[in-house]
Amino acid sequence: MDFRAAVILLLAVIATVSRAIELTFELPDNANQCFYEDIKQGVDATIEFQVVTGGQYDVDMALEAPNGKVLYKDVRKQYDSFTWKTEVEGTYKVCFSNEFSTFSHKIVYMDWQIGEEKPLLPNMEQHMSAMTMMETSSSGIHERLKAIDDYQTHHRLREATGRKRAEELNERVLWWSVGQTVVVVFIGVGQVFILRSFFTDKRTISY
């Protein structure tokens, strides 16, 4: 494989990786946000979402086809994944709702994968039996890079969720400790006054 073929291969890798739609957005309280995507008929599509931070880590999500048919709908979910094959061509709509929450802003991650991945090399099927060692290695590296990218994305989400929960737990422990300290101080002061009252009582002596 010469330099020109290597450049074409690299461009093919970049084009393939960029087909997935990944988005992290803020969903305010009492809010509903929708996203739209034009998809052709007979295409395999997968949508995955996860609440990264905020409240009880839950949102309502609904997926609607261009003809108004509801393909997916669920409430109070922290994360989920849905795969389907498009029956009609048009604009598909996915909506995330936080209308049930009064105070909690939430950060939501969405991954929308549309269609099957294109071959890494042009006419891959015809040249499958005659692939050079460089092409075989490049194809293997490409598959491993995709897997690594997917693992890193999910690990970043889990790390962010775990960090947020740890911070919330640390804050609760802090306020609990402050409350316990205040209670102990009040009890100590109260005991001191009670003990002082035992020694300051005046006794009346009758003759």
**Range from 45-49, 108-112, 145-149 carrying the lowest mean pLDDT:** 145-149
Spatial contact of 46 and 82, defined as CB atoms under 8 Å apart: yes
Residue 145: CB atoms within 10 Å:
12
Residue 206 lies in a domain: no
Give me 155's structure tokens.
């690990």
**Range from 11-25, 59-73, 142-156 carrying the lowest mean pLDDT:** 11-25
Q: At what angle do helices 3-17 and 133-200 cross, to 10 degrees?
A: 40
Spatial contact of 49 and 79, defined as CB atoms under 8 Å apart: yes
Q: How does DSSP assign 8-76, residue by residue?
A: HHHHHHHHHHTTSEEEEEEE-TT-EEEEEEEE-TT-EEEEEEEEEESTTS-EEEEEE-TTS-EEEEEEE
Question: At 91, is the secondary structure helix, strand, or coil?
Answer: strand
Residue 170 lies in a domain: no
Summarised one tens digit per residue, pLDDT across range 125-171 is: 555 555 677 777 777 787 788 778 777 777 777 787 778 778 888 88
What's the half-sphere exposure (Cβ side, CA atoms, 13 Å) at 18?
A: 6
Helices (H) and strands (E) in the chain, counts: 2, 8
pLDDT at 160: 76
Give percent of the chain above pLDDT 90.
36
* pLDDT of 86 above 60: yes
Give the total number of structural domains in the chain: 1
- For residue 133, the enclosing domain spans 3-162
Q: What is the arrangement of strands in the sheet containing 106-114, beginning at the earlier edge strand?
A: 21-27, 106-114, 44-53, 79-85
Spatial contact of 30 and 99, defined as CB atoms under 8 Å apart: yes
pLDDT at 27: 92
DSSP for residue 126? T
Separation CA 5–CA 2 (nearest Å): 5
Q: What is the CATH number of the domain that holds 78?
A: 2.60.120.380
Residue 186 lies in a domain: no
Residue 182 lies in a domain: no
pTM, two decimal places: 0.62
pLDDT at 131: 60
